[in-house]
Amino acid sequence: MSTKKVVLYCRFSTDMQRADSCADQEREIRAGLVRLGIDPTNAIVIRDEGESGTKTARDGFQQLSGMVARGEVGVLAVDDQARLTRAENAFAFITDLVFAGGRFVSTGENIDTSVPGWELRVQVMELHNGLEIRGLRHKVRRGQEGRVRDDGSAGDHPFGYDSHYIDPDWAAQLARRGPKPKKALRICQEEANWVRQVFAWFIAGLSIGWIARELTKLKVDKGRRASQPGWHHEQVRRMVANAKYIGQWVWGKTTTQRNSRGQKKQIDVPQGEQVCRYRPDLRIIEQEIWDQAKARLAVLEEAFGHKEGQKPRGPKPNPAEVYPRSPLGGLLTCGRCGAVMWQQKRKEHRYYVCSGVKSSRCNMTTQVPAERAEQGLTDFLLEKLKTWPEWMNHLYQETSAAIHAAAARVPEDRERDVRRAGELDRQINNLVTALAEGGLTSSAVANRLCVAEREKAEIDVRLAAYAKVTPDAVALPDESWVAEQLSTWATNLATGVGGGSLLQTAIRGVVADPVIAPGKTRGFIRLKFQVNAWDTLIAAIGDHLPVRGLVGAPDQPHPNDPEFTLDLGEPTAMERWAPQIATWRTEGVTWEEIVSRTGMDLSRVFVAWKRYTGATDSPPPI
């Protein structure tokens, strides 16, 4: 049997503490063991440096736990019990040590498991250490909250901001004992430019994954607090959802909770205990850009977010439905089963194939030639949009009328918002005064202040928009100018200029129907599609649409969006003549006469007749 060992365990919590703290603890432990008659000369020393005592995932502690489990520890000595652990597992750990034949000694607190009554002292110290940690957490949070309420820095700023000392003599304050100099927040222009670029990419329709890969490829620095190189898609998603970029700073939304082993998780804090500050000086993203990003996030959440009754990872839609990989990706559907048709490549050619064929859910064997379909639709749209069609003119007139109707409501809406803004100003001033004088400390009051500040910020945005509504601002550009702009826009996109897709913008959906002659198994494709007139008009005139917030896109397809049909082929001569040949034969017309009338040879005439009558069950008179 192996001899049990004397083990000295030392720990300090953070890198900010003295590196020789463990050496000091070891010296005190050795002296205390000598007083107890224990020889520490050959003791094993285990150290954890810069490790919190609230967690068990420490290298030294794990080594010690393994030795205890194997029964190798005869005496475990610490300077004080908190060095071993501050979590709620001290009594359980020490009990296991004693059960394995070991002895626990805390030399600084005179705790010795060889002395009766040690259980009470260990449990009291465990409770004391846990309360001390919770009290320290409360004090830290209290100090951070104070800095936030003073619009200072509490270390919670995201990418795009940095903190700086506000006292001119901050260097001298750092060098001497006493309070540290205060810090404030400011916009880091280099990072802020990348934030604006991310939002621009996002509202342009680029995927969050693509943005993360592009930032990584461009080697964009994530800041000094980054622990891993490269950008992760979750970092980008949090960025485009972070309201701090529009000046709404909410602090303390979550807090840390630990279990008995020191494992931790973030839990939500009640809204009344959160701190909300409106910081217009820290705004990076304009409201219109933010609203567009928020709307797109909602669309992505609807498509990919977790739904009730589903596994935590959420639904599994095909990403190509959201981010098309071909000009007609996500637009083209099968006319037989309604399934989406996806692009496939065979040698040097591309085809669109019904996704239900492979799983035998559909018998659509006719494939859509990709190049012919894309070019045919593009040419068709170009011809229509260059001529300023009647349906586009009608939509132009309706949009103009809608903008003027919305503008007519602005005075009434402005007056209502001005009154409400005045009421909120009074409420905010009263609440701030009461909180500052200490007359009110309720979390409900702080929450009411937060709500009032948010509502006031929203009204300020609307009031700024109202100021832009002038008679000139609500007039659509001249109709002839819009027609010319539409033609130029369509031509640029059709030739690959402008970074967009004419088909994805101008077409609402395309249905592919097979046109197959009787008696045959394959034919040609007929495309039925609807033009998305609203999106086409908005994309064409761009920023020239007056006061964009007054009129939004319709929830349903516009009633004037026209429907068209485009054939990607045509019947052969045999297919065109087949019904007539069958009729003639029924009437007794000779084969020689039919050959003369159709201009086809007898063999083709006979095959056309036989194929048609066989498919339609017509009597086959010879």
Over residues 470-527, the pLDDT tens digits come to 655 555 667 788 788 888 888 888 776 555 578 888 888 899 999 888 878 778 899 9
pLDDT, one tens digit per residue, over 107-149 is 988 999 999 999 998 988 888 887 777 777 777 677 666 666 7
Query: Which pLDDT belongs to residue 312?
Result: 57
Claim to verify: residue 508 and residue 386 sit in the same structural domain: yes
Q: Does residue 153 sit within a domain?
A: no
Same domain, 116 and 29: yes
Residue range(s) defining the domain that contains residue 428: 406-466
pLDDT 10s digits, 198-246? 999 998 888 898 999 999 999 898 876 677 788 988 899 999 999 889 8
d(CA 453, CA 80): 49
In a domain, 372, yes or no: yes
- pLDDT surpasses 70 at 461: yes
- Domain C-terminal end among 440, 466, 492: 466
In a domain, 410, yes or no: yes
563 and 580, same domain (yes or no):
no
116 class by beta-carbon count within 10 Å (0-12 exposed, 13-18 middle, 19+ buried): exposed
User: Residues 391, 482: one domain?
Assistant: yes
Is 316 domain-assigned? no
Separation of CA 527 from chain center: 35
Average pLDDT score over the chain:
80
345 and 391 in a common domain: yes
Lowest mean pLDDT among 137-146, 547-556, 577-586: 547-556
CA angle 444, 449, 451 (to 5 degrees): 95
44 confidence band (pLDDT: 50, 70, 90):
very high
What was the pLDDT predicted at 45?
Answer: 93
Confidence of residue 622 (pLDDT cuts 50, 70, 90): very low
282-338 confidence digits (pLDDT tens): 899 998 899 888 888 888 887 776 666 655 554 555 566 666 778 888 888 898 888
Q: Check whether residue 40 and residue 113 sit in a common domain.
A: yes
Position 262 scores a pLDDT of 57
What's the CATH number where 95 sits?
A: 3.40.50.1390
Q: Out of 93-107, 349-363, 424-438, 535-549, pick the least confident.
A: 535-549
Residues 371 and 493 in one domain: yes
Determine the pLDDT at residue 5: 92
3-state DSSP helix/strand/coil percent for the chain, to nearest 5?
A: 50, 15, 35
C-alpha dihedral, 108 to 113 to 118 to 122, nearest 10°: 60
The answer to the question of residue 588 being in a domain is: yes
Gap between the Cα atoms of 246 and 255, Å rounded: 24
pLDDT in tens, 431-451: 777 666 655 555 566 667 777
Can you give the pLDDT at residue 95? 92
pLDDT in the model for residue 271: 66
Tell me what pLDDT residue 621 has.
Answer: 47
Residues 452 and 508 reside in one and the same domain: no
Entry pTM: 0.46
Name the domain count of the chain. 5
Provide the CATH number for the domain around residue 192: 3.90.1750
Which is more confidently placed, 545 or 597?
597
| Residues 8, 26 contacting (CB under 8 angstroms) | yes
Residues 6+ positions from 255 with CB-CB distance below 8 Å: 141, 266, 267, 269
- Whether 258 is in a domain gets the answer no
What is the reported pLDDT for 126? 86
pLDDT tens per residue across span 353-372:
988 887 788 888 888 998 99
What is the pLDDT at residue 73?
Answer: 92
In the chain, the amino acid numbered 54 is T
Least confident span in 186-200, 255-269, 357-371, 376-390: 255-269
Whole-number pLDDT of residue 113: 93
259 within a domain of the structure (yes/no):
no
Q: Which residue has the higher pLDDT, 268 or 557?
A: 268
Q: What is the DSSP string of 133-162?
A: HHHHHHHHHHHHHHHHHTTB--S---TTEE
Residue 524 sits in the same domain as residue 493: yes
% of the chain surpassing 90 pLDDT: 18
Is residue 108 a contact partner of residue 79, using CB atoms and an 8 Å limit?
yes
Q: Which helix (H) or strand (E) holds 503?
A: helix 502-506
Q: What would the two tokens of residue 142 be?
A: 């209290």
- For 113, counting Cβ atoms within 10 Å of its Cβ (0-12 exposed, 13-18 middle, 19+ buried), the class is buried
Most confident of 22-36, 161-175, 212-226, 307-321: 22-36
Residues 422 and 542 in one domain: no
pLDDT at 1: 44
Please tell me whether residue 500 adopts helix, strand or coil conformation: coil
> Do 553 and 589 belong to one domain?
no
Residue 359 domain-assigned (yes or no) = yes
Average pLDDT over residues 78-94: 87
Question: In whole angstroms, what is the distance from residue 92 CA to residue 111 CA?
Answer: 15
Residues 415 and 495 in one domain: no
